[in-house]
Structure 1
Amino acid sequence: MTQTRAIPGAQSIDRATALLRWIAAGHASGTALRELVQRTGLDRTTAWRIVSSLEQQGLVSKDADSGLYHLGIEAMALGATCMERSPLTQACRPVMKTLVRLSGDSVFLVVRSGDSSYCVHLEEGVHPVRSFALNVGGTRLLGLGVASIALLATLSDEALVHHYARHRDEYADHDVGLPKLQRWVSQTRQRGHSHIHAGGVAGVGLQFRMGSCGNAAMSIIGPKSRLPRSRVDELAQAMRHEIRRVLPQLTPDSPQPP
């Protein structure tokens, strides 16, 4: 979990934020109060009071049957509102513009959204491909795109199998089976970045952490003739360098299973 510098007089806010982040990290499956107590070091009564207040504000919801906590509608509303002026796009645009100048090709920014990836922004290269712009604002199943493969590689081996089972039919429509996904993930982990080439187009993708509990990725896409393996490795290193230089809070890590 991301560590932040404490500000005098803001202890209650710090505690509430810490609890909210842990609930966000376990949003899909839910988080028990006892786990929140263990994670934050707060006593049970204090943790319960803060979480109950967050629930009252709509930032947190409690499952009536399991008693587990998830993010609430208000948390979703806040996240959806910021997409109009995405903080991630604002932070990453200088890096993307530099990569466009270095590569001459188009640079995409995507974020993970459950089992899919969502394209947030595109910086076009000197030879823009008209169809690329249609990807902005669209979603793809994890693994069906070079940045999406980089995000897929963050799943554990077991989670990957379950993910494939949930979307077997959709993957079949793209002629992608579990062995192919597993091969792509293995190659991505070994290289530290994803690399695909199909239909005359090639690309390289690099994933990085987004805040305390999210994942994002950048990818450079261009004609296959412009992106041979040697240049792909060079561009992946440039992506990693620029993110670390301009956005140290979003330092890219080689994708490893949890």
Structure 2
Amino acid sequence: MVAAMTDGNLSPGATQIGDPGGKSDAGVRSIGRAVSILELFDAEHPSRTLREIVSLTGLPKTTVVRVLATLETLDLVADKGESTYGLGTGFLRWVDLARSLWEVSADVRRVMAELVDACGETVNIYVRRDRSRISIAQVEGSSTVRSVVKVGVPYSLMTGAGAKILLSGTPEPVLRALLAQRSDADSEAFRCEVLSINEVGYAVTHGERELGASAVAAPIHGADGRVIAALSASGPTSRFTADRVGTLVDQVTSAAARIEQLGLGNVEAFL
């Protein structure tokens, strides 16, 4: 697979595997290019034209064509004709497996549903993956106007109540890297905010991730005491009044404590 996607700018046998700039580096680079192409497909864009892929990745057309050809032989991409591509059948064998590995338990789902019944807002469980946060479970709110995020899609670890909770357990090198990406961030003030959230045990944000959206989040600790996830209730800022936020904090922290007692399920092995 790696050999098939090797860049091609290097002559075979020119360098040994592991040499700087050698085949292994080219292979990793090729895998990165393949992933960057696959990430262009989502619910809003189930298919992409060759021209779109070239434009969005910024890769040379010849490179894109070569990577697409390799992905097609692996059934990870399907050619729909007229230089238009979609995901291939190869992904089908991984869908149920990935869902089963990352799904929270039925008991946890029940607690999330009860929280939605109590507060009416959308409830998510977020985990940190490197420098991003990802929702691995969601129960949509009962109101017509509600906040919904995409499960499995990376979101910023710098904004939002769920992110602030997860940051309390983030290793120092990751935190420094995140702050380096945000030149507009006051690093000392940000660190103080994260420390304060860790001490009080919940976070409340308004309009950080998206204008007009608010959230309340609380930590979910693992058996070893680490913050392994964040339970969040989010919705329109207009409903997150000062009086109601206090009630939401109680509801979310109580639900997070119940989930801690239950355990998230098999997914904890990855956290």
TM-score by length of 1: 0.54
Displacement after TM superposition at 1:82 (Å)? 5.3
Separation in 1, partners of 2:213, 2:236? 5
Please list, as runs of the form range in 1=range in 2, the aligned pairs for 1:76-225 lying within 5 A after superposition: 83-85=98-100, 86-88=102-104, 90-127=106-143, 132-133=148-149, 135-155=150-170, 159-160=171-172, 162-172=173-183, 175-198=184-207, 199-210=211-222, 215-225=228-238
Displacement after TM superposition at 1:176 (Å)? 3.1
| 2:17 alignment counterpart | none
* Cα deviation code 1:90-148 (max 9, x no counterpart): 34211111111111111111112233222112211123557724x31111342322111
Aligned residues of 1:204 and 1:232 also touching (Cα < 8 A): yes
Displacement after TM superposition at 1:87 (Å)? 4.0
* More off after superposition, 240-249 vs 223-232: 240-249
RMSD (CA atoms): 3.1
Q: Residue 245 of structure 2: SS of its match in structure 1?
A: helix
Q: Residue 93 of structure 1: SS of its match in structure 2?
A: helix
- Structure 1: state its 5+ residue gaps: 1-79, 252-258
Separation in 1, partners of 2:216, 2:136? 17
What letter is aligned with 2:205? I
Separation in 2, partners of 1:167, 1:211? 27
Please list, as runs of the form range in 1=range in 2, the aligned pairs for 1:232-251 lying within 5 A after superposition: 232-245=245-258, 248-250=261-263
Aligned residues of 2:147 and 2:236 also touching (Cα < 8 A): no
| 1:228 alignment counterpart | 241
Residue identity (%): 23
Displacement after TM superposition at 1:230 (Å)? 3.5
Separation in 1, partners of 2:130, 2:161? 17
* Cα deviation code 1:67-86 (max 9, x no counterpart): xxxxxxxxxxxxx9753123
Displacement after TM superposition at 1:88 (Å)? 1.9
* Cα deviation code 1:146-190 (max 9, x no counterpart): 1111010234xxx44x33432345333xx4331342132133124
Separation in 2, partners of 1:95, 1:121? 12
| 1:22 alignment counterpart | none
Residues 166 and 242 (structure 1), Cα distance of their counterparts in 2 relative to 1, 3 Å cut = closer
Separation in 2, partners of 1:98, 1:203? 17
Q: Residue 198 of structure 2: SS of its match in structure 1?
A: helix
Equivalent residue pairs, number? 166
TM-score by length of 2: 0.52
Name which one, 1 or 2, has greater alpha-carbon Rg. 2
| 1:26 alignment counterpart | none
| 2:269 alignment counterpart | none
Aligned residues of 2:233 and 2:252 also touching (Cα < 8 A): no
Displacement after TM superposition at 1:214 (Å)? 6.6
